[in-house]
Amino acid sequence: MTGVPAFIEYFGTAVTAPRQFAKIVMAERKELYYGFAIVLVFSIMVSIVSTYAVVIKAMGFAPFLPGFVVSATLGGLVVLGVIASIILWLIIGLLVHGFSVLLGGKNGFEQTLMALSFFWIPWFIHGLAAPVYVFADYMTSLVIWMLVTIISLCWGVILVVLSLAEVHEYGVGRAFASILLPLVIIVFLCVIIPTLVVFSWI
């Protein structure tokens, strides 16, 4: 099966049975291909929808802005969002893979990247909510956008934990630790160290 039916089938499997989908992708030896495609497609979608819901609708309060400014803002933020997603996927993937190996993971970096890409899949909910963002007032759109974002984040973490456990053949506890420890490091580097530097100058 190819084309749209295959995409729908694969998408449904990834959402409802991430372990099974991970097995299918590894059997086809297309981990990096699927991983990159997932991050690219869903980051484009969520960047477009989020930019419209959060930024473009807010710019509607400034009707004096010419149309090309709005279009350029949308295009620029979408491109930045996609590039940022791919860079984060690679950097966090490297950190997660390092901890996966330390915790007994049995597969390579490409498999880790594929598992991590599952984080982007639940963001399709933003696509379903797009009509609300278009027709609702700004505050309603913003509240719904935040709720959908929280749901997508939680669901994405669950998918990554399950797929990572399958890929590296260890338990969900170690899979969760492989994700949590890099996040702790990132928070430390981005928050704690700058805070200490600021206080050292006071």
Q: Residue 88 CB: number of other CB atoms within 10 A?
A: 15
pLDDT at 202: 63
Burial class (CB in 10 A: 0-12, 13-18, 19+), 76: exposed
Query: Which residue positions in the chain have pLDDT lower than 70?
Result: 1-9, 59-70, 200, 202
CA dihedral 193, 198, 199, 202 (to 10 degrees): 160
Q: Give the pLDDT score at 1.
A: 47
The predicted pLDDT at position 98 comes to: 92
> 13-41 in b/e burial notation, b at 16+ Cβ within 10 A?
bbeeebeebbeebbeeeebeebbbebbbe
Locate the domains of the chain by residue range: 3-200
Q: Kindly report the pTM of this predicted structure.
A: 0.80
The pLDDT value recorded for residue 4 is 53
Give tens-digit pLDDT for 46-57.
888 888 777 777
